[in-house]
Amino acid sequence: MTSTTEAITGGRLMVELLEEAGVEIVFGYPGGAILPFYDELYHSKKIKHILVRHEQGAIHMAEGYARSTGKLGVCIATSGPGATNLITGLTDAKMDSIPILAITGQVSTDAIGTDAFQEADIFGITIPITKYNALIKKADDLARHFEEAIKIAMGGRPGPVLLDFPKDVQLEKTSVRKASALKIAPHHYERPKVKGDPQEFADALNQAKRPLLYVGGGAINSFASAEIKALAEKANAPVTTTLMGLGAFPGTHTLSVGMLGMHGTAYANKAVLECDYILNLGARFDDRVAKYQDFAPNAVRAHVDIDAAEFNKRINVDHILHGDLKDAIREILPFVKGGDRTGWISRIQTLKQNHPLDYDNSGESIKPQDFLNRVYTKTKGEAIVSTDVGQHQMWAAQYYLFDKPNTWLTSGGLGTMGFGLPAAIGAKFGNPDKTVICVTGDGSFQMCIQELATIAQSKLGVKILLFNNNFLGMVRQWQELFYEERFSESQWSYNPNFVKLAEAYDIPAMRIEKKSEIDKGVEFFLKDSGSALIEVMIPAEEKVFPMIPAGKSQQDLIEFKDLGKLKK
């Protein structure tokens, strides 16, 4: 490593390297061990820093930013408690393959291992929840670590990386401002060549009478939407997406059968049972989708994925294509023939007609499904929607149709309550011109509620749609259906006045309780580009259907109309 440039401090170099990597915004919270870096950040003209209220907020904001823009999300925390507050977000990003760079301060190298003030072994703690992590012991190594970490976060199957910087390393001077060589083998970040036989792949699809494309989050990461649409249309094959894949194929397309899995549409789950060929495009046979080895029991199974470790991990497949989804589909396409699938397509239409998404909208109370439909219509389906976790998340997945990738931000793999609000904030910073809506529940909202201050401080236009059932709704649903209505610790005996609370943060807010108020509520909520909170009171008994009970498979799907059967 030779370089004749003038020596600068590690902290200065960290800022320069972020700038060079094109990072425009970072979300963070300072503290003693990261102060040298913050001192240098003070001078940066290119990087905007968003001061959050809790480090969990910082990393979910970075995730929301990354998920909605496709760029790297960056968050910063100090050592010890600052760093450990990132754990949930790192795990979340790992489960959903989101490219995140987490920068943490660490106690000085001579104090490491002595139980120093605010010391935590964040390197050791985050080994299982990062794609890569490193403790940087010399300022001379800093450039290399940065380059490697960013390449690893973004490359291949994306994921979170964490770099831990002892305070003295941030103060140490170095003239090594660019890595002369990387230690990590290129296959960890370079786009792999497609391995497998695209023609064999296409042949199996061509022979199928009832093909089904099953699209996952990998489609979003590989920006493969156009290719998937071309493939579906050429092959005349219906498309279902996972929770993570929503938006990768237009939800309004005639070939779309919506989401599959635990709370997917009945027609998607029935199509899985009836198809004779299922092509998994960047999904991972998650257990909420494919419970058993006999998933898609009548189908030849094919799988395209960038991560070789996903093949045959849970469900055995007949055909494998290893590589980036976009590249792989481009290689398959020329061999695909447009068979006559009118029989299958009309069967799908029949399924859609006979098993629609359904709920009872009689009575005076507001049904969340209805309200989401109105929001969908009013925003013309063009909003970016983030959610928390629970019933509201599933209703949003079902009733807001996503036509474009990177517009649906949800914690799919980890199911993190508290994700929604900060994710929406991050998304709004990345997409200032778009309407960004956070759909949340009265439980989830309170997990990162302090980030309302971040909205206020940045005068950000984030829309919060709060469904209040005074319950941990999804927990209540399970207790009602599977625990004989013993509502153990799922009902709130206290909830704050959410309207007043929002107003305390200068966010206009309104509560509606009756159906007759819906129009007024939607109007208020979406009237301008500023932030707003609408609290929609909904019945606690409202449930999410369809539902595949936990541990069961597609055959055991319960629809709204079967509710009586279930509670017999």
Query: Cα dihedral sign for 8, 13, 15, 17?
Result: positive
Q: What does 471 bind: ligand TPP, another protein, none (CB cut-off 5 to 8 Å by kind)?
A: ligand TPP
Note the maximum CA span of the chain: 79
Q: What does 220 bind: another protein, ligand TPP, none (CB cut-off 5 to 8 Å by kind)?
A: none
Binding flag, residue 473, ligand TPP (CB under 6 A):
yes
* Residues of the shown chain interacting with another protein in the complex, contacts defined by CB under 8 A: 123-124, 127-128, 131-135, 148, 152, 183-185, 188, 307-309, 311-313
Instruction: With contacts defined by CB under 6 A, name the span among 116-124, 208-216, 337-345, 463-471 that binds ligand TPP.
Output: 463-471
- Binding test (CB under 6 A) with ligand TPP, winner from 391, 406, 435, 553: 391
> 341 and 209 in contact (C-beta within 8 Å)?
yes
Beta bridge partners of residue 558, listed in sequence order? 547
Binding flag, residue 398, ligand TPP (CB under 6 A):
no
Query: Residue 305 is encoded by which pair of tokens?
Result: 């994925």
Beta carbon nearer to another protein, 91 or 240: 91
Neighbouring residues of 348: CB distance < 8 A, sequence distance ≥ 6 = 238, 257, 267, 271
Binding flag, residue 250, ligand TPP (CB under 6 A):
no
User: Which one of 1, 118, 450, 515 is the catalytic residue?
Assistant: 118
Q: Reduced to 3 states, what is the DSSP secondary structure of residue 454? A: helix
Q: What does 321 bind: ligand TPP, another protein, none (CB cut-off 5 to 8 Å by kind)?
A: none
Could you tell me whether strands 211-215 and 239-241 are parallel, antiparallel, or unpaired per DSSP bridges? parallel
Q: What does 473 bind: another protein, ligand TPP, none (CB cut-off 5 to 8 Å by kind)?
A: ligand TPP
Shortest distance, position 53 Cβ to ligand TPP, whole Å = 17
Long-range contacts of residues 250-255, Cβ cutoff 8 Å, at least 24 apart: 250/402, 250/403, 250/404, 251/381, 251/401, 251/402, 251/403, 252/381, 252/401, 252/403, 253/229, 255/345
Phi, psi of 376 (to 5 degrees): -60, -50
Query: Cα dihedral sign for 338, 341, 344, 345?
Result: positive
55 catalytic? Reply is yes
Residues 369-388 as x/- pattern, contact with ligand TPP by CB under 6 A: -------------------x
Q: What does 467 bind: ligand TPP, another protein, none (CB cut-off 5 to 8 Å by kind)?
A: ligand TPP
117 catalytic? Reply is yes
Q: Say how far apart CA 465 and CA 437 lie, in whole Å.
A: 7
Query: Residue 414 is encoded by which pair of tokens?
Result: 């980890």
The count of other CB atoms within 10 Å of the CB of residue 562 is 14
Binding flag, residue 412, ligand TPP (CB under 6 A):
no
Binding flag, residue 415, ligand TPP (CB under 6 A):
yes
Q: Say how far apart CA 58 and CA 80 lie, in whole Å.
A: 16
User: Which one of 474, 480, 545, 559 is the catalytic residue?
Assistant: 474
Beta bridge partners of residue 536, listed in sequence order? 467, 512
Beta carbon nearer to another protein, 91 or 269: 91
Give how far the C-alpha of residue 191 lies from the chain's centroid of Cα atoms, to the nearest Å: 22
Rg of the Cα trace of the chain?
24
Q: Say how far apart CA 124 and CA 138 lie, in whole Å.
A: 19
User: Which one of 16, 55, 331, 451 is the catalytic residue?
Assistant: 55
Residues 418-447 as x/- pattern, contact with ligand TPP by CB under 6 A: x----------------------xxxx---
167 catalytic? Reply is yes
Beta carbon nearer to ligand TPP, 79 or 468: 468
- Binding test (CB under 6 A) with ligand TPP, winner from 469, 479, 531, 553: 469
Give how far the C-alpha of residue 207 lies from the chain's centroid of Cα atoms, to the nearest Å: 35
Q: Which of 543, 533, 537, 439 is nearest to 492 (CA)?
A: 537
> 242 and 289 in contact (C-beta within 8 Å)?
yes
Q: Say how far apart CA 61 and CA 392 lie, in whole Å.
A: 20
Binding flag, residue 413, ligand TPP (CB under 6 A):
no
**Residues between 475 and 514 that touch ligand TPP (CB under 6 A):** 475
Q: What does 505 bind: ligand TPP, another protein, none (CB cut-off 5 to 8 Å by kind)?
A: none
Shortest distance, position 478 Cβ to ligand TPP, whole Å = 9
Count of residues interacting with ligand TPP (CB under 6 A): 20
Beta carbon nearer to ligand TPP, 133 or 391: 391
Q: What does 391 bind: ligand TPP, another protein, none (CB cut-off 5 to 8 Å by kind)?
A: ligand TPP
Beta carbon nearer to ligand TPP, 242 or 416: 416
Name the residues that contact ligand TPP, by CB under 6 A.
388-392, 415-418, 441-444, 467, 469, 471-475
Q: Which positions are annotated as active-site residues?
A: 55, 117-118, 167, 474
